[in-house]
Amino acid sequence: MNRKVYIILLLFLLLPVAMLCGCVENTDQQAVPNSRTELQNSSTVQITDMLGRQLTVPAEISSAIGTSSPPAILVYMLAPDKLAGWNSRQNFTHPFMDENYSNLPVIGNWLGTKTGNYETIIDMHPDIVIESTSTYGKTNEVIERRQENLGSIPVVAINDSILFVTQSDPTIEYVGKLLNCEAQAKN
């Protein structure tokens, strides 16, 4: 089975909350390419997130946190060693995971129950935080508030198109490039 289809199917299996969130498909959605520009300090790069915002991130990202389950699971599927924590404990999937991943800390969630905690994330020192958004190309107050509260930790916005099978490829490829696992994202 095509690896991309497998990733998408697994996302839907692990995200029953996605069916409850009332997302609306927008066929005009355009992804902003993840352009990476090396800065003078070679340990960082300038990127454009999927909302078109310019951000400075580490050239090599070793730790990422999602603000909700869709981006966390996407990081797990593409680069599991870079996932720093889960948003909630999903006991029905954990028996199938390696203990290194099933035992990651639960950091809370900003989708549904709104149990996310800025201090918890800041104390973990992730390289980036990934926020899934349905603003379709428009920076919104939520992303700006997250960035303000997380200080110097870059909040990278991705389109929540990972919830829609027919629109997920650009988001998967974007995150693959961001996490330096492009081959995994293309499979």
For 5, the 3-state DSSP assignment is helix
- Domains detected in the chain: 3-186 (3.40.50.1980)
Residues written for the chain: 187
Q: What is the mean pLDDT of each run of 10 residues along the chain (187 residues)?
A: 58 44 35 50 87 93 93 93 89 75 87 80 96 68 89 92 67 93 86
Q: What is the mean pLDDT of the chain?
A: 78
Beta bridge partners of 37: 46
Other C-beta atoms within 10 Å of 162: how many? 26
Would you say 70 and 11 are in contact if contact means Cβ atoms under 8 Å apart? yes
- pLDDT value of position 18: 38
The pTM (predicted TM-score) of the whole model is: 0.76
- Under 8 Å between Cβ of 167 and 29: yes
